[in-house]
Amino acid sequence: MDKNLLTIDSVRNAVQSRDTTAFSIAEAHYSRIQQEDEQIGAYLTLCKDRALEQADRMDRMAAEGKVLPPLGGVPVAIKDVMSTRGVRTTAGSKILDNYIPPYDCTAVARLEAAGAVVLGKTNCDEFAMGSSNENSAYRPVRNPRDLTRVPGGSSGGSAAAVAADMAVCSLGSDTGGSIRQPASFCGVVGLMPTYGRVSRYGLIAFASSLDHIGPLTRTVRDAATVLRTIAGRDPMDSTSADVPVPDYVAEIEKPVRGLKLGVAKEYFGEGLNDEVRQAVELAVDRLKGLGCEVVPVSLPHTSYAIPAYYLIATAEASSNLARYDGVRYGHRAGGVKSLSEMYRRTRDEGFGAEVKRRIMLGTYALSAGYYDAYYLKAQKVRTLLAQDFEDAFRNVDAIVTPTSPTAAFRLGEKSDDPLAMYLADIYTVTADLAGIPGISIPCGETKERLPIGLQILGRHFDEATILRVAHAYEQE
């Protein structure tokens, strides 16, 4: 038994039957981290004492003949934008370098309540702002499939940890594609639930109307298991939806024959790499072979998604990041002579270049005289994008697209061109703006053996259908 290649069910079953122990599985993962992570950079902070204590608890339950919870003994990694009680939480930023939260993020608490063993916190673009994981204040993450390439962002550490067998599954956050694009680049499964399906309590905010928490896993079944665990209404988050949570694991076994899958021409236009196009078209043909009906659909406002997203997201970031002022927690500049100097120097020393860029863009978009021209207009475009999806879903059950226009690009390739970097999210931001769920699953490789991702988008709160389609394709 290779303890670093197990799925959620195989970990739980092995611990339950006492074929092995949760403690030894956790130790195997820490050994793997020690061997591999110096060159990959997926983790920022490990919490070994906390992990082994939980593993020991699961082993005692198994020894006493008690039924283990759904994630009993499963090693998980948590993106470092989610609060973890007593464990350093930086959001990939120097401004939170010494921050230790007094409470757990709801999603983390639910994972641990289900028996998960939290190994540590994963590296990410600073405040989740980036598409390559090169914006971390600590170090970039490298793609386990090719160390000269990026793992995607901003949840690059979470994707790399799973791809490099340093965690069975992980949690990431998705604001404009930050779960699905790294999943595509690293060759794993990445699921972004509907906005409001998973509580955001304890998630360090980037853009509050766009942020989602979701899993990165090896298999679709594992993604369904994690979502079933973390989904549901939370009184601590007023935006979490009071909508029944299906048994996603049971739902994925339902046949897909007869489902209508939309293919939008707007996602297959200029800028799409030929190898990516061929892999996605082949995947669509395989779904057709499974009995799905492929239907052309149109999402006519797609071309406006990137500018709308980068106005709304930066405006919300400008507001959210105003709290980092050196007064209450986090970094505070020393040797200052006035309050205004402390604010300026604290934020100048604590924030990186990309975060500063987005704060300035957002502050400008919200300023007097420009609010109507930029922010308000972007919100109107957002409504049109959401309407496009509503119209399409009247005729189809899900929409299939490429996850990213290219496979993983090289480290430093887009660092000096923010616009080129922003366009890496062209196929993912639309779902965040509309608040619908999406999943990326591996659907092939380039000639250079780099993974390619297939994205499946669904109706609000219909994660069951996209998981079902993804599982059927994965099994095929």
Catalytic residues: 79, 154, 178
Helices 377-392, 305-320: crossing angle, 10 deg rounding: 120
C-alpha 171, offset from chain centre: 7
Give the sheet arrangement for strand 438-445, strand by strand. Answer: 43-46, 117-122, 75-79, 169-174, 212-217, 189-192, 438-445, 451-458, 398-402, 260-264, 293-297
Rounded-to-integer distance, Cα 289 and Cα 284, Å: 9
Query: Three-state secondary structure along 271-306?
Result: CCCHHHHHHHHHHHHHHHHCCCEEEEECCCCHHHHH
Report the run of H or E that residue 254 belongs to, with start and end: none
* CA distances to 8, 88, 138, 430 from 5, in Å: 10, 28, 28, 34
Closest CA to 462 of 255, 246, 263: 246
Q: What are phi and psi of 439, to 5 degrees?
A: -135, 145
CB 151, CB 141: distance < 8 Å: yes
The full length of the chain comes to 476
> Within 13 Å of residue 307, how many CA atoms lie on the same side as its CB?
12
Which residue has tokens 């195989």? Answer: 10
CB 369, CB 235: distance < 8 Å: no
